[in-house]
Structure 1
C-alpha cells in the first residue's frame, strides 16, 4: 500500500493535519492510521470541550501564536460546516491577595496576545457574571467558548475522506523501517509504504519517534485529570465557565467549572501522575509505562520540584472532601453531595531528558519523519493552525 504521506494518530491534531494536506494538494495520496477502533478516543475524546482564547500563553510562543490563529480558523470551520459551538465567555477569579500578581500577569499576557474586550472586575462585578462565585478580583474573557471536539474530529475526517484521503482503524504501529527512498510503516496486519511519516500519536508519540530517531531526548509523562459532574438540581450555581488563577510554577490550570456544549456542568480536572499512559482509572497500572516515567532524569527533577503540589493533587484524587474544598474557593455553596463522579482524561506531557516539563508545543523533524512531540492544551483549539504548519512542512519535502 503506497502513499505519499502516512499520518500516525487519529486524534484532533492528526486529523487536522491530514485535512490541511489535502486542502493544499489534492493530488497527494495520504493515509491516516489509528490504533483504536474509532477516532479521537483518547486526549481529544476526553477533554473538557473548551475553546481557549490564548490568554495564558507566553507572547510569541508556539502555543500563543497557534492558539490565536487556530481559534479563528476553528470558528470559521465550525460556522462553515455547521458544527455547534458557543462563545459564552469565562471569568478567571482570584480568591486571595497572593494571587493578584499572577492574575495581573495573565491579564497582561492576554493584551500582548491581542485579545480584545478583556475586563478586570472587582468582587461585586464577579457576582454579575457568576452570582454564586466569590472572589476579590477577576478577569472577564469573552472569547472563551464551548464545543464538542469529537464532533469537530468527525467533521475533519469526513472532509478528509471526501478529498480522497484514507483512514485505517485498528492499525497499531509496530515498526518503522527506512528505505531508499522512503519509509515503511508496519502494523499488525499491513505494511504501508510512503515518502514521509507524520507522527501525531499523542500519548505514544515519543515511542513512535524512537522507531525512527535515536536518541529521542523527550519522554511523554502521563497526567490524569479527573472530573466530577454537578447534579442537575445544583447546576444553576454555574452560568458558564469559572477558572482559578493558575499557579505560575505548575503547568496546569487548577480545578474549575465548565458548562458543557451538550448539557451539564463539569468540575475539575485535577492533575495526577498516571501509572499508565492510558490510565483513566486510579487502579490502572503498566509496569513499562511507570518504569519509563520514574527513571527519566527530567521527570525525577520535576518530582523533586513539585512533590508537595503533587501530593495535594493526589489528595484531591482520593478524597472527595478535599476536591470539594478546592472547588469551594470559587463556589462556596457547592457541597460534597452535589458532586457525581465523572470521567477522566490523560494528558500527554512531554518532559526533556535533563530538564523539566516542556511548556510549549514541540515539533521535531528528521529525514523522513515529522514528529509532533508536545501538543497538550490548547492543541484542540489550535488544531487547524498546527495542522497547517505541519502540512506546509510536509509539502516542502515532496
Structure 2
C-alpha cells in the first residue's frame, strides 16, 4: 500500500538533509522526496551568499545557536571529505558609527556565551585584515567560512539513497489513520506512513493542505545583491553591526568560493513567493500576504526601516552609499547586479517575525515552518532533529 515509509516535500538543503539523516539512522528505510522544480536547491538554498555562519548572532540556548555552532563544524568536515569547494575565512563585524559600539560589545558577549572565539579590533587592526575597510571598531570571528551549498545539496541527494521525484509539486494532501497520500500537480500520487513538510517558501500552504493551521504565514522578503567589479577591494567577509530588532544582517561583503565578491542583500517585500525581481507579481500570493494581519503589523511597526530598504532597492546610488560606510573606495560603477534571493520569513498573526527555527508536529506529520539563515549552515543537525521526530511517528 505504501510507496515509502517517509515522504518529504521539498528538495532544498533542509529536505535533503532530512532524507540523508533518515537513511543514516535506518538504511532500510524507504524515503521519497517530492520537489516541484526540475532539480534540487533552486530557491533559498541556491540563492544565498554561501556563508558558513559561526553562530555569533543567535540567542544562547536557542535552536539557531546550538545548530549553527554544531552545523558549522560539521559542514566544513562534510565539504572537506567530499572535495566540495569551501574555505574557513573568518569574518569582520565592523562598527562605523559610535551608536553601534554598544551593540558590537553585546555581540562579543553573545559570541563568547555561544562558545565562539571572538577577537576585538581597533581601526588599525581592521586594516590588517581588510586594508580598504574603515570602521571605529570591529570583531574578528575565526570560525566563519564559505562553501557551495548547491554542491552540498546535490551530494546529500546522492548519498541519501532516497527516491527523488522532480517536477512534483504538492497539490493535495490526504492524511488518514494509516498514513498520508500526496497528489502532485501532474497527477502522480505518493503514499507514505509519515509526511515531512520542508517546503520552504510554501511550507504554510502545504501545512494547510494537510489540514493543519500553522499559526503563521510566510511573508517573502527579497534580498537583492550586487557584485564587486574590482574583487581586490575585499579579502574575505565583512559585515555591519546588525540591528537586533530585525532578523536581517544588513548589506555585507562576501568573497565566495568562486573568487567573486557578493555585496548585499537588502530586504524588501517580494510580490510573489518566488518574486526575484519587481516584475514578478502573483496576485493570489500577494493577496494572501496582504490578508494576513501580521503583515500590516510589520508595516506599522517598521515602516522607517522598510522605507530605507526600498530606497536602496530602487536607487543604486543609495545602495552604494550603504556599502561605502564599510568600503569607502567603492563607486556605483564598481557594482554590477547579480541574482537575487527570497527569504521565507515566518510571521505570526500579531506581526512577530519568528526568529528561531519553528518545527510543529501533527498526526503522522512534521512541519518545518521557519528555517531561515543559518539553516544551510545548520542543515546537518537540523536534518537529524527533523528525522528524529519523523522516526518517532512511524
- TM-score band (shorter)? over 0.9
Shift of residue 283, structure 1, vs aligned partner? 1.3
Q: Is the 8 A contact 2:214 2:369 kept in 1?
A: no
How far has the Cα of 1:354 moved from its partner? 2.2
CA distance in 1, matches of 2:212, 2:85: 43
Please give the TM-score of this superposition, normalised by the length of structure 2. 0.98
Distance, in Å, in 2 between the alignment partners of 1:276 and 1:53 is 31
Which aligned segments of 4 or more residues in structure 1 are displaced greater than 4 angstroms? none
Give the secondary-structure state (helix, strand or coil) at the position aligned to 2:46.
helix
Question: Which structure 2 residue ranges, 5 or more long, are not aligned?
Answer: none
Task: Map 1:63-212 onto structure 2 (within 5 A).
Answer: 63-116=64-117, 118-161=118-161, 165-187=162-184, 188-212=186-210
Structure 1 residue 75 displacement after superposition = 1.7
What do the CA deviations read for 1:56-109 (whole angstroms, capped 9, x no partner)? 000000100111111122122112222121001110000011001111111111
Is the Cα contact below 8 Å between 1:213 and 1:366 reproduced in 2? no
Structure 1 counterpart of 2:224: 226
Contact persistence 2:180–2:192 (CA under 8 A): yes
For residues 252-271 of structure 1, what are the structure 2 equivalents within 5 Å? 252-271=248-267
Of 78-87 and 57-66, deviating more is: 78-87
Matched residue count:
392
- 2:382 match: 386
Q: Secondary structure at the match of 2:211?
A: coil
Shift of 1:179: 2.0
Residue-by-residue CA offset, 1:364-388 (whole Å, 9 max, x unaligned): 1000110000001000000001000
> 1:215 Cα shift?
2.4
After superposition, residues 324-363 of structure 1 pair within 5 angstroms as: 324-363=320-359
Q: State the distance in 2 between where 1:299 and 1:281 align.
A: 20
The root-mean-square deviation of aligned C-alpha atoms, in Å, is 0.9
Unmatched segments (≥5 aa) in structure 1: none
Aligned residue number for residue 281 of structure 1 = 277
- Residue 213 of structure 1 deviates from its aligned partner by 3.4
Superposed CA deviations along residues 40-65 of structure 1, whole A, max 9, x for unmatched, are: 00000101000000000000001001
Report the TM-score when normalising by structure 1: 0.97
How many angstroms apart in 2 are the aligned matches of 1:185 and 1:214?
Answer: 15
